[in-house]
């Protein structure tokens, strides 16, 4: 019984092994390449798959999801003979597992070397500044070359990106200095523009201020002139309404003359030419008053004896001559008195103005600072 049991156990183990080796479960997004007796047979899809025991075996297991491959920094020479280190990032996806396994030995290494050679060809036709500013163009040219070359390998390149471009240290310092100079230049330009705008605004404000002040002064002068004109008109109407004669006007004219020198800023005085006319008017007024108030002078004895009782013309003529001579004497005296008063008033006003301007000298026996 024991040999039979051992054979049954061995047979069961062999059956289990054969069943286990003939069944394969492929995960999602995976592809298995199956070889039969060393020759490619088929590619297993995700799920449960059956194989021929002993004859079939799985050669390669591939992931068909999009993969990311980052290469190491590689030195590249630009057109202006500068060495820069460039890092690239590659996004690819396996579309044909059989071609990826049998058309190329190591597709990652092949893609890496192809990327380096393409970069050197592309960057070699650009200078440093163009290289730093033309990343999109470099990416598109890289993708076109890689996609064309990797298509027969069963790989599709979805995207190629340049991760970093590192120029030499000396070039970095020069670029930093250049950028600093550019920023300083922009700052100086902005500062100058700000000062220019500030000066323009200040000038415009000053201009508006001067215009407004001039307009205000003009309006004030117009209003002042209107007021003075109305005042003169009212005075003129009042004078004509009250029928003031020339005597009162001449007296007021002489009364106003001393006020011409009241201002402290006056250094000379102008005596108007109408002063003599005003004095004549006053003297004529005084002469009329003296004529009206003077008593008739008595007749001389000789003249009274000579004239007869019936000679009335001679009696009248003699008093008229005496009154006329007395009136002319009184008018001359009044004119002289008015002239003296006007000259004295002007002299007093001039002396007061000069005394107000010049400091008082100290008296004898007194110090300038004490009493």
**In a domain? residue 106:** yes
Do 125 and 73 have their domain in common? yes
Do 76 and 161 have their domain in common? yes
- pLDDT, position 285: 55
Do 102 and 44 have their domain in common? no
Under 8 Å between Cβ of 115 and 139: no
* Cα–Cα dist 242/178, whole Å: 94
Under 8 Å between Cβ of 109 and 150: no
**In a domain? residue 2:** no
Under the banding of pLDDT at 50, 70 and 90, the label for residue 32 is: very high
Q: Using one digit for the tens of pLDDT, what is the confidence trace for 55-79?
A: 888 888 999 999 998 888 888 888 8
Round the average pLDDT of the chain to a whole number and report it.
75
Do 162 and 74 have their domain in common? yes
Most confident range (mean pLDDT) of 171-175, 210-214, 296-300 is 210-214
Write the CATH number for 136.
3.30.479.30
**In a domain? residue 211:** no
* Cα–Cα dist 23/59, whole Å: 15
Do 47 and 89 have their domain in common? no
* Domain extent for 131: 66-167
**In a domain? residue 127:** yes
Do 88 and 124 have their domain in common? yes
Do 126 and 96 have their domain in common? yes
Residue 3's contacts (CB-CB under 8 Å, 6 or more residues apart) are none
Q: Spell out the long-range contacts of 22-29 with Cβ–Cβ below 8 A and sequence spacing 24 or more.
A: 22/50, 22/51, 22/52, 22/53, 23/48, 23/49, 23/50, 23/51, 24/48, 24/49, 24/50, 24/51, 24/58, 25/49, 29/63, 29/64, 29/65
The tally of domains found in the chain comes to 2
Q: Using one digit for the tens of pLDDT, what is the confidence trace for 219-241?
A: 999 999 888 888 878 877 776 77
Indicate the residue among 167, 196, 229 that finishes a domain: 167
Q: Using one digit for the tens of pLDDT, what is the confidence trace for 115-135?
A: 888 888 888 888 888 888 888
**In a domain? residue 95:** yes
Indicate the residue among 141, 167, 193 that finishes a domain: 167
Q: What is the mean pLDDT of residues 4-15?
A: 79
Do 125 and 163 have their domain in common? yes
**In a domain? residue 308:** no
Do 147 and 89 have their domain in common? yes
Q: Report the half-sphere exposure of 188 (CA within 13 A, side-chain side).
A: 6
Partners of 113 in the β-ladder: none
- pLDDT, position 291: 46
Of 238, 272, 280, the residue nearest 256 (C-alpha): 272
Under the banding of pLDDT at 50, 70 and 90, the label for residue 284 is: low
- pLDDT, position 364: 47
Do 72 and 163 have their domain in common? yes
**In a domain? residue 235:** no
Partners of 165 in the β-ladder: 86
* Cα–Cα dist 201/293, whole Å: 80
Neighbours of 100 (CB within 10 A): 20
Indicate the residue among 111, 143, 167 that finishes a domain: 167
- pLDDT, position 261: 56
> Which comes out higher in pLDDT, residue 190 or 342?
190
Do 87 and 163 have their domain in common? yes
Of 121, 133, 127, the residue nearest 74 (C-alpha): 121
**In a domain? residue 246:** no
pLDDT at 335 over 60: no
Q: What is the mean pLDDT of residues 156-180?
A: 85
Do 91 and 79 have their domain in common? yes
């Amino acid at each position: 019984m024991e040999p039979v049991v051992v054979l049954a156990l061995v047979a069961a183990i062999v059956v289990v092994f054969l069943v286990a080796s003939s069944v394969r479960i492929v995960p999602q997004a995976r592809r298995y390449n199956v070889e039969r007796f060393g020759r490619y047979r088929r590619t297993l899809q995700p799920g449960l798959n059956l194989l021929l025991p002993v004859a079939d075996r799985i050669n390669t297991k591939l992931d068909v999801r999009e993969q990311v491959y980052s290469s190491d920094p590689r030195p590249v020479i630009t057109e202006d003979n500068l060495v820069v280190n460039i890092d690239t990032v590659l996004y690819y996806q396996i579309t044909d597992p059989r071609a990826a396994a049998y058309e190329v030995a190591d597709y990652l290494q092949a893609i890496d070397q192809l990327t380096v050679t393409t970069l050197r060809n592309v960057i070699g036709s650009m200078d440093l500044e163009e290289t730093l500013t033309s990343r999109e163009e470099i990416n598109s040219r890289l993708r076109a070359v890689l996609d064309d070359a990797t298509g027969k390998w069963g790989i599709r390149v979805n995207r190629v990106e340049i991760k970093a471009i590192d120029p030499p240290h000396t070039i970095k310092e020069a670029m930093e200095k250049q950028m600093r100079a550019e920023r300083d230049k922009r700052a100086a330009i902005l500062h100058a523009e700000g000062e220019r705008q500030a000066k323009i605004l200040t000038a415009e404000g000053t201009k508006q201020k001067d215009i407004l002040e001039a307009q205000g002064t003009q309006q004030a002068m117009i209003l002042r002139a209107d007021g003075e004109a109305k005042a003169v008109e009212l005075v003129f109407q009042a004078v004509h309404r009250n029928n003031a004669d020339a005597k009162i006007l001449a007296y007021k004219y002489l009364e106003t003359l001393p006020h011409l020198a009241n201002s402290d800023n006056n250094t000379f005085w102008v005596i108007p030419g109408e002063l003599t006319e005003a004095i004549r008017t006053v003297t004529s007024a005084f002469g009329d008053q003296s004529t009206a108030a003077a008593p008739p002078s008595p007749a001389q004895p000789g003249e009274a004896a000579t004239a007869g009782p019936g000679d009335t013309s001679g009696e009248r003529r003699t008093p008229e001559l005496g009154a006329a001579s007395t009136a002319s004497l009184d008018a001359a005296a009044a004119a002289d008195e008015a002239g003296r008063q006007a000259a004295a008033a002007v002299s007093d006003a001039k002396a007061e103005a000069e005394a107000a301007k010049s400091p008082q000298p100290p008296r004898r026996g007194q110090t300038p600072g004490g009493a």
